[in-house]
Amino acid sequence: MTRCIVLLAWLFAMLPAWAGEVAIGNADTYTISRAFSWLDDPGGQLTLDQVRAPDARERFKPVLPTGPGPNFGLSTSSYWLEVTLRPAPDAPRDWMLEVAYPPLDRIEVFAPDGRGGYVKQTGGDNEPFSAREVPHRNHVFPVHLQPGQTTALYLRVASGGTVSVPARLWRPAALWAHDQASYAALGLYFGLLLGLLFYNLLLCISTRDRGYLYYVAFAAAMGIGQAALNGFGGQFLWPQLTWWNEVSVPTGLTATAIFGVLFAREFLSSAARMPRIDKGLLALVGGWVIALLCGLALPYHVSAVLVTSLAPVSVAALIATAWVSVRRGYAGARYFMAAWAALLLGVVVLTLHNTGVLPSNAFTANALLIGSATEMVLLSFALGDRINVARRFKEQAQARIAAERAMVEALSQSQERLQQVLDEREVILENSLVGIAFLTPQGRFKWANRAMFEIFGTGHESVTSMEPFYVSRDQYLEVGGHVAEAVTRGKVYQRELQFRRRDGALIWAQLTGKAVNPQDLGQGTVWAVMDITERKQLEQRLEETMSEREAILNNAVVGIVLSVYRRHEWVNEKFAQMLGYPRQVLIGQTSIYLHESEEAWRRFGEEARATLIATNTYTCEQLLRRRTGELFWVEMGGSCIRANDPDSGVIWTFLDITERKKSEAQMREALEQQKALNELRSRFVAMTSHEFRTPLAAILSAEEVLRHHGDRLSPSERMETLDDIAAGVQRMSRMMDRVLLLGQADAKMLDFQPHEVDLPRLCRDLVDDVRTQFPKSPCRVRAEWGPGVGRGQWDDKLLRHALSNLLTNAVKYSPSGGEVLFDVRRDGADMVFTVSDQGIGIPAGEVGHLFESFHRASNVGGIQGTGLGLAIVKNAVEMHGGRIEVHSTLGRGTTFTVRLPVASATAAA
């Protein structure tokens, strides 16, 4: 049967290749089989001239580009093959054509003779080995090429078995060098085979065990089949026996299968342990015997069909038998299973090598030899293991007899203890949290513990079977069928089912059962039932939660990706929309398409990987590419699933910041413009305040004239007019003073002239000025100062501007009244001025802009102001080396705190 597997490997591996020319240079070898074109010659009557005729050439077909060469399977036709060789001007003239399939019956090679004609060479396993052009295990023919001249090479092949033509062109020296290695490998293989054969033959003679005899016959048949397949036998063992050379392949294959199955029966004792399987094995032996007789008496095609049919059935039967034996723990079964697995592995590797999937090397090219050799060694180990097991069984039997004697004595002495243990186990079973029951083969209760009946809410005496607890009779019958199947096969039945309690409530339970004795099903079954209703509910809630989280992730405003080895394992809908692809297209893709170029992708991967390994997280702003090719900015953040291990997977988030980037650019541009505007505004304020002082002085002079000489108006009218003019002039003058002061501060021209200031007096003056300025205000202005407040070195003008502005604002922006507190305290080396009100407050988002020039809060309404006061306050405080803080609650009031360093001060009297 081993050879059947080999034949199947050849049948499926030898697939054709596309036709074409082969350029010949100075290499050692060239594969030409994939460049063949072929023509079917069913009657085998075509001549070379007929094949070369134009109408015949049009019927040539190219072969497919897989496998080692053309393969036409089991066919009675003849096939013409053509390949065009194009030698380079410096190419060698002498070559060897090797067709590496020894079982071919007949092969004819038509090579150019250098005079415009063709010379014919004949080979095949129907010819005596001495008739071959080149003595070689494969079919080798000398070919002479004319350098620089294109040459057409023709082959005609026919065979009663598989027609396969794996052809290569060799330089003679290279072929002989290659043969050194191949013949060495074959020598090692057959040497190992002979060693195992004679070793086990001696064991067979000494032990009289038929298993060794079958093994020896199996090894001998395998050697014959292998020698026939690789041409070793035709070259060295039966070079003149052409009849035997033709039938040796099917004979070796079928004999190997016969003795392999017989060895399996004997080794695994299938007749006693597995009688049903043993009948199938005997039937296979009969089938292989018929195939053997057909191989000897009938055409090769008939036996090949039988081999092809029987091989897969035999392989499946032996694997199934070995698997059952392993499951049942039979001695040596594991070695037996491993041996056949090694052979199958060799067949699979050789098949993949022949189809071009695996590269050609010493292992893949000789995989079948290695696999079969390993199989033979493991089977020999299996036989040896069986002897060891038999010895162990004998020793164990002797020990068991002694132990049984001791046990009898111990049992006679410990009957009471045994009863106590049984009682304890009865208590344990009865009080188990898991329901336990013992059922008859008909499914009736023999015994059940209390937990079993509590799970189903019934009493011990009111139930005889499990049927009343099933949701429906159909479910009961379905489960019963599955249970019967599992018990028959000796397996444990386990399933989670929904049951109905006696009170009608539905519960989930895990049902687990097995036969008490798999060899005697009449003893019944034992069952365990666990209530898993709560777990099922938790699983349902977990599934719902997972669905909700999936929905949340898919509806997130940022793109989310799970990436493993830089390949998308999962993406959310936002990420797909961001790139313009369907989600299904992105899953499974590498991330290279996201980046501007492959170099950018590689550079990003190196940087991100190093950072993830070092810190477990990575964030950056990156340019990515949409499906349309448009580049856009994203803020990326990555975190490893397993700490500091990016290979475990990385969760990435993507936030589209393209608009933000545009806004930032616009803001930078606006800031530059604002700088220029501020500079211009500062110069403008300084200029206008200087220009407006003279008109303001004139207005004041006019006001004095009107006051003393305006006899045309009544006294009350003149005074009212004059008061209005004076008030307006003073207001404009204060505004201009502020503008000038701010302009000087911005231009770094503000003079700072500290001198001794009487702080209590200054504070009283400021409070009086505020009360005078706002005589109709509903606010209560109150001043407090603590100990240590006296004289100190400050700039009187700047300090007056700063504190006056704070007090004026406190009253002005408290239209509903309330208390305005002006508190002065000494705090270490600082003098702290606090002005608090209960006014309209400042919006939280605008506090940061409060000290900017011309800025007014959005909630001031119709309250007049210039937006310059707090900017002047900040400049005045900073000129003193101090700082100002603000705390405000919208609608509840504001508190300004000014801290100025005290140069020198004396306490107030």
**pLDDT tens readout for residues 76-119:** 788 898 888 999 888 898 889 888 878 777 898 998 887 778 88
pLDDT of residue 213: 78
Rounded-to-integer distance, Cα 105 and Cα 300, Å: 10
Give the pLDDT band (50/70/90) at residue 823: very high
Rounded-to-integer distance, Cα 235 and Cα 229, Å: 12
State pLDDT tens for residues 160-200: 777 788 888 988 888 888 877 777 777 777 777 777 677 67
pLDDT of residue 261: 80
Can you say how many angstroms the Cα of residue 52 is from the centroid of all Cα atoms in its chain?
57
pLDDT of residue 904: 43
pLDDT of residue 15: 35
Mean of the pLDDT values across residues 304-323? Answer: 77
In terms of C-beta density within 10 A (0-12 exposed, 13-18 middle, 19 or more buried), how is residue 421 classed?
exposed
Average pLDDT value over all residues in the chain: 78
Residue 826: CB atoms within 10 Å: 18
Nearest to 256 by CA among 237, 230, 228, 279: 228
The answer to whether residue 907 scores a pLDDT higher than 50 is no
The answer to whether residue 677 scores a pLDDT higher than 70 is no
Q: In 414-570, where does DSSP find H-type helix?
A: 415-430, 450-456, 473-488, 533-554
Mean of the pLDDT values across residues 792-816? Answer: 86
Unique residue bearing structure tokens 């004095």: 704
Give 590's DSSP letter.
B
Least confident among 66-75, 615-624, 818-827: 66-75
Mean of the pLDDT values across residues 316-332? Answer: 77
State pLDDT tens for residues 217-236: 877 877 777 777 777 676 67
**Consecutive H or E run containing 28:** none
Give 360's DSSP letter.
P
Enumerate the β-bridge partners of residue 695.
none
Nearest to 336 by CA among 318, 350, 353: 318
Give the pLDDT band (50/70/90) at residue 833: very high
pLDDT of residue 708: 64
Residue 82, classed as helix, strand or coil, is strand
pLDDT of residue 313: 79
User: CB of 522 within 8 A of CB of 479?
Assistant: no
User: CB of 346 within 8 A of CB of 372?
Assistant: yes
| CA dihedral sign of residues 474, 480, 483, 489 | negative
pLDDT of residue 9: 38
pLDDT of residue 610: 92
Mean of the pLDDT values across residues 823-842? Answer: 90
- Of 241-245, 303-307, 865-869, 881-885, where does the model show the most confidence? 881-885
Q: At what angle do helices 242-268 and 333-354 cross, to 10 degrees?
A: 140
pLDDT of residue 680: 46
Give the pLDDT band (50/70/90) at residue 239: confident
Give the pLDDT band (50/70/90) at residue 695: low
State pLDDT tens for residues 622-650: 889 898 888 899 999 999 989 999 998 99
State pLDDT tens for residues 734-762: 566 656 665 555 545 567 788 888 888 88
Least confident among 454-463, 676-685, 717-726: 676-685
Phi, psi of 725 (to 5 degrees): -60, -45
Q: Kindly state the percentage of the chain with pLDDT values over 70.
A: 77
| CA dihedral sign of residues 665, 667, 673, 675 | negative
Query: Which residue type sits at 516?
Result: V
The torsion region of residue 4 among left (phi > 0), alpha (psi -120 to 50) and beta comes to: alpha
Pull the structure tokens for residue 286: 């009969």
pLDDT of residue 639: 92
The answer to whether residue 483 scores a pLDDT higher than 90 is no
Residues 6+ apart with CB under 8 A from 756: 791, 792, 793
Residues 6+ apart with CB under 8 A from 481: none
The answer to whether residue 12 scores a pLDDT higher than 60 is no
Give the pLDDT band (50/70/90) at residue 898: very high
Residues 6+ apart with CB under 8 A from 193: 219, 222, 223, 226, 373, 376
State pLDDT tens for residues 13-58: 333 333 468 888 888 898 888 888 888 888 888 888 888 888 888 8
pLDDT of residue 718: 63
Give the pLDDT band (50/70/90) at residue 309: confident
Q: Kindly state the percentage of the chain with pLDDT values over 90.
A: 6
Give the pLDDT band (50/70/90) at residue 899: very high
Phi, psi of 758 (to 5 degrees): -85, 100
pLDDT of residue 837: 92
Rounded-to-integer distance, Cα 650 and Cα 827, Å: 54
Describe the strand order of the beta sheet including 617-625 as a list of residue ranges: 567-571, 559-564, 645-656, 631-642, 617-625
Give the pLDDT band (50/70/90) at residue 423: low
State pLDDT tens for residues 525-561: 888 888 888 888 888 888 877 776 777 777 777 889 9
Nearest to 102 by CA among 6, 246, 219, 236: 246
* Residue 357 vs residue 57, higher pLDDT: 57
Rounded-to-integer distance, Cα 198 and Cα 207, Å: 14
Residues 6+ apart with CB under 8 A from 66: 15, 16, 17, 355, 356
pLDDT of residue 17: 33
How is the chain split among helix, strand and coil, in percent rounded to 5? 55, 20, 25
- Of 216-220, 669-673, 799-803, where does the model show the most confidence? 799-803
